[in-house]
């Protein structure tokens, strides 16, 4: 890995931009509409300060924790992302990196690698579902994940099919036909290292979603599965209660931002929620997740594990979220950029950056453990929090 090491997530992003064809890089940036939420997720962290100590600091810091019954080396997990063509080893490389650094991975239903291969690389794999098709379709996907040996389920419910961006959306083909390959060739040739990684692997990006098929069945294309999703009526809270009954292990509901929904998630029997706005890829104008976190923690933090995802780029961001009550955070773009920059080693590099950042922030704050963090460690400016859904909707 000599010469490949990078010191910040910002540098991982620069390398990803350089290495990836434009359409693949733009698909990782994603976002929606004007990008207000995309930016606020990141910028809001910079509004929070720290209250460090001077002496009496701790010479050793313990970063370990548990999330959804899984022991983790630090309060950071890999968030599920359904992306294609970043690296030939895809989610298997990410899973290996997470295992090497002692943490868990959420595997998207729209991932490029089968759940069986990812669990083999990291038994601490949570399978992420969307509500697509009827109850029977959802059940079949759960059964496959169960047979693969996943550690738990994640259900993501905040996708709202917002497809436009003021800065333009990348062209993503349904299949790499000869015509599409010709169209894509100039981009590919301008990014020889990315191209070489696929040439070495002996295969082109398949652009399919194997976990949306029955085991051994033909994998649908990304857009084929997406089309089915668009035709599916969104689930009710009753559907969620039913789904919860089908799974006796840990279950995380991802995409909660309001207090009233957090309470309903508790009522539906969830083991955890993630305060999330899908990384700013949905309803633009949704506040940054770190602004919404404190009210959700106050409402349900004693009953359920509350995670956060959105905008984490540094170890100090992780510490801010934990100080405000998150059990742990999940990261999205940060590891995708690491994967693009250097494959498995790049994801490990990103996890090391976060670990070092958490450790040095704990040192400054005078704590020996991530469990000692409190709101007194951070400086939250007036008007920062957003308490959404404090009164129950009809």
Q: Which residues are annotated as a binding site?
A: 80-82, 108, 128, 130, 156, 165, 254, 276, 278, 309-313, 332-333
CB of 188 to ligand FMN, least distance (A): 20
When asked if residue 333 is in the footprint of ligand FMN (CB under 6 A), the reply is yes
- When asked if residue 83 is in the footprint of ligand FMN (CB under 6 A), the reply is yes
Other beta carbons within 10 Å of 193: 10
Question: Which residues sit in the known binding site for glyoxylate?
Answer: 165, 278
Q: Which of 53, 87, 163, 278 is catalytic?
A: 278
Residues 86-105, one symbol each (x = binds ligand FMN by CB under 6 A, - = not), give --------------------
Q: How far is the CB of 207 from ligand FMN (least distance, A)?
A: 14
Q: Is the alpha carbon torsion for 203, 207, 209, 214 positive or negative? A: negative
SS (H, E, C) 171-219: CCCCCCCHHHHHHHHHHHHCCHHHHHHHHHHCCCCCCECHHHCCCCCCC
Shortest approach of ligand FMN to residue 41 CB, angstroms? 5
Q: Which string of x and - marks every residue 102-141 that binds ligand FMN (by CB under 6 A)?
A: ------x-x-----------------x-------------
121, 185, 292, 299 from 26: Cα distances, Å: 28, 17, 27, 37
Task: Kindly tell me which of 27 and 326 has the beta carbon lying closer to ligand FMN.
Answer: 27
- Please report which helix (H) or strand (E) contains residue 50, including its range: strand 49-50
Q: Is 85 in the site for ligand FMN (CB under 6 A)?
A: no
Whole-Å CA distances, 23 to 16, 83, 84, 188, 243 = 12, 12, 11, 10, 36
By CB under 6 A, which span of 132-140, 190-198, 308-316, 385-393 interacts with ligand FMN? Answer: 308-316
Nearer to ligand FMN, 6 or 131 (CB): 131
Please identify, using beta-carbon distances, which residue of 65 and 274 lies nearer to ligand FMN: 274
DSSP labels, 356-386? HHHHHHHHHHT-SBGGG--GGGEE--TT---
Per-residue DSSP letters for 237-284?
HHHHHHHHHT--S-EEEEEE-SHHHHHHHHHTT-SEEEE--GGGTSST
Strand 49-50 vs strand 378-379: parallel, antiparallel, or unpaired?
Answer: antiparallel
Which of 210, 311, 315, 343 is close enough to bind ligand FMN by CB under 6 A? 311
Residues 335-394 that bind ligand FMN (CB under 6 A): none
Q: How far apart are CA 291 and CA 44, in angstroms?
A: 7
Distance of CA 215 to the CA centre of its chain: 25
What secondary structure letter does DSSP report for 314? S
Q: Does 82 bind ligand FMN (CB under 6 A)?
A: yes
Q: Give the three-class secondary structure for 330.
A: strand
Interface region with ligand FMN, contact rule CB under 6 A, candidates 27-35, 179-187, 205-213, 225-233: 27-35
User: Is position 32 an interface residue for ligand FMN (rule: CB under 6 A)?
Assistant: no
Give the CB-nearest residue to ligand FMN. 332
Burial class for 69, CB neighbours closer than 10 Å (0-12, 13-18, 19+)? exposed
278 is catalytic: yes
Residue 156 binds ligand FMN, judged by CB under 6 A:
yes
Span of 62-70, 92-100, 326-334, 379-387 interacting with ligand FMN by CB under 6 A? 326-334
What is the contact mask toward ligand FMN in residues 225 to 254, using x (rule: CB under 6 A)? -----------------------------x
| Bind-site residues for FMN | 80-82, 108, 128, 130, 156, 254, 276, 309-313, 332-333
Cα→Cα distances 89→80, 203, 212, Å: 16, 11, 19
Q: Tell me the two tokens of residue 28.
A: 């990782």
Question: Is 13 an interacting residue with respect to ligand FMN (CB under 6 A)?
Answer: no
Partners of 71 in beta bridges: 66
Q: How far is the CB of 259 from ligand FMN (least distance, A)?
A: 19
Q: Which residues bind ligand FMN (CB under 6 A)?
A: 27-28, 30, 41, 79-83, 108, 110, 128, 156, 254, 276, 278-279, 281, 309-312, 331-334
List active site positions: 278
């Amino acid at each position: 890995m000599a010469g490949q090491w990078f010191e910040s997530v910002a540098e991982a992003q620069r390398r990803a931009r350089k290495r990836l064809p434009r359409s693949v890089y733009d698909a990782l940036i994603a976002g929606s509409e004007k990008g207000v939420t995309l930016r606020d997720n990141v910028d809001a962290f910079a509004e929070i300060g720290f209250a460090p100590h001077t002496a009496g600091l701790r010479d050793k810091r313990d970063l370990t924790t548990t999330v959804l019954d899984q022991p983790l080396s630090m309060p950071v997990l890999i968030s599920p992302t359904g992306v294609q063509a970043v690296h030939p080893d895809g989610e298997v490389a990410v899973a290996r990196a997470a295992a090497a650094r002692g943490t868990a991975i959420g595997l998207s239903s729209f991932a490029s690698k089968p759940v069986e291969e990812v669990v083999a690389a990291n038994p601490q794999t949570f399978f992420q579902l969307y509500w697509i098709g009827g109850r029977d379709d959802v059940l079949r996907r759960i059964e496959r994940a169960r047979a693969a040996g996943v550690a738990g389920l994640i259900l993501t419910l905040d996708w709202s099919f917002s497809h436009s961006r003021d800065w333009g959306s990348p062209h993503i083909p349904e299949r790499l036909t000869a015509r599409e390959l010709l169209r894509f060739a100039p981009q590919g040739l301008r990014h020889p290292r990315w191209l070489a990684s696929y040439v070495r692997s002996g295969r082109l990006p398949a652009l399919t979603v194997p976990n949306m098929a029955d085991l051994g069945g033909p994998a649908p294309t990304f857009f084929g599965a997406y089309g089915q999703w668009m035709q599916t009526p969104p689930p009710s809270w009753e559907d969620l209660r039913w789904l919860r009954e089908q799974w006796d292990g840990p279950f995380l509901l991802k995409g909660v931002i309001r207090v009233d929904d957090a309470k309903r998630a508790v009522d539906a029997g969830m083991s955890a929620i993630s305060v999330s706005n899908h990384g700013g890829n949905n309803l633009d104008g949704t506040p940054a997740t770190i602004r919404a976190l404190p009210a959700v923690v106050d409402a349900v933090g004693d009953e359920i594990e509350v995670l956060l995802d959105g905008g984490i780029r540094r170890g100090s961001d992780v510490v801010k979220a934990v100080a405000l009550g998150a059990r742990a955070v999940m990261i999205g773009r940060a590891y995708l950029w690491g994967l693009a920059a250097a494959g498995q080693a790049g994801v490990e590099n990103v996890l090391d950056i976060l670990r070092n950042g958490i450790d040095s922030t704990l040192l400054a704050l005078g704590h020996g453990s991530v469990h000692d963090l409190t709101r007194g460690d951070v400086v939250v400016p007036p008007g920062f929090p957003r308490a959404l859904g404090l009164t129950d909707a009809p």
